[in-house]
Amino acid sequence: MSDLTNIARPYAKAAFDFAVEQNALATWLEMLVFAAEVAKNDQVAALLRTTGIAEEQANLFIQVCGEQLNAHGQNFIKVMAENHRLLALPEVLATFVEHKAEYEKEVTVDVTSASVLNAAQQDKLIAALSKRLQRKVKLNCSVNPDVVGGMLIRAGDMVIDGSVRGKLDRLATALQS
């Protein structure tokens, strides 16, 4: 999987830079989402693995995608096909989304709590995290009764454990030391 990620990185960067230059981030995101789904399809993936001629791969892919790809998107597919990289499209999409989030200064924060957070609690949490992270925050809330109380917040590499379960575990560790 890391090989595909390394392969995808320059394609995603090129697509992202072009999209920013053309002020078309949303359009490129839509095209890449659709193309990545096509590449994930078992039948298409099998054809891409067996068909060795780049032009045939590109034409097949463009036919399947139809009007979902504009002229620039079709050229992007042709370049990837010439280098036999169409199977890396899902990773291209993932890397493109990372570039987009960084560019727009956005971060998705996973919040796990013992009970459902109401709108006021979510708004307060978004405000506090936006201030701390200096980014626009999107919450991805989930409920896990094992948290007991409080919440567990994950934003990239940062983890804030404000759960009762976490506090009990830290207390147990301190008492055993």
Question: Residue 130 belongs to what domain range?
Answer: 105-176
97 and 109 housed in the same domain: no
Q: Tens digit of pLDDT for each residue in 56-73?
A: 888 888 888 888 889 999
Judge whether residue 114 has pLDDT over 70.
yes
Together in a domain, 127 and 75: no
Pick the last residue of a domain from 75, 102, 129: 102
CA distance 56 to 72: 18
Q: Cα separations (Å) of 49 from 44, 45, 76, 87, 132? A: 9, 6, 19, 8, 46
- Structural domain tally of the chain? 2
- Looking at residue 86, which CATH number applies to its domain? 1.10.520.20
CATH of residue 166's domain is 3.40.30
What's the confidence (pLDDT) of residue 51?
A: 64
Cα–Cα dist 112/142, whole Å: 5
In this prediction, residue 1 carries a pLDDT of 45
pLDDT in tens, 127-157: 999 999 888 898 999 999 888 888 999 987 8
Is residue 81 located within the same domain as residue 147?
no
Domain boundary among 102, 125, 145: 102
Task: Look at 22-36, 47-61, 109-123, 146-160 and tell me which has the smallest mean pLDDT.
Answer: 47-61
> Which domain-ending residue is among 42, 71, 102?
102
- 98 plus 56 within the same structural domain: yes
pLDDT tops 80 at residue 50: no
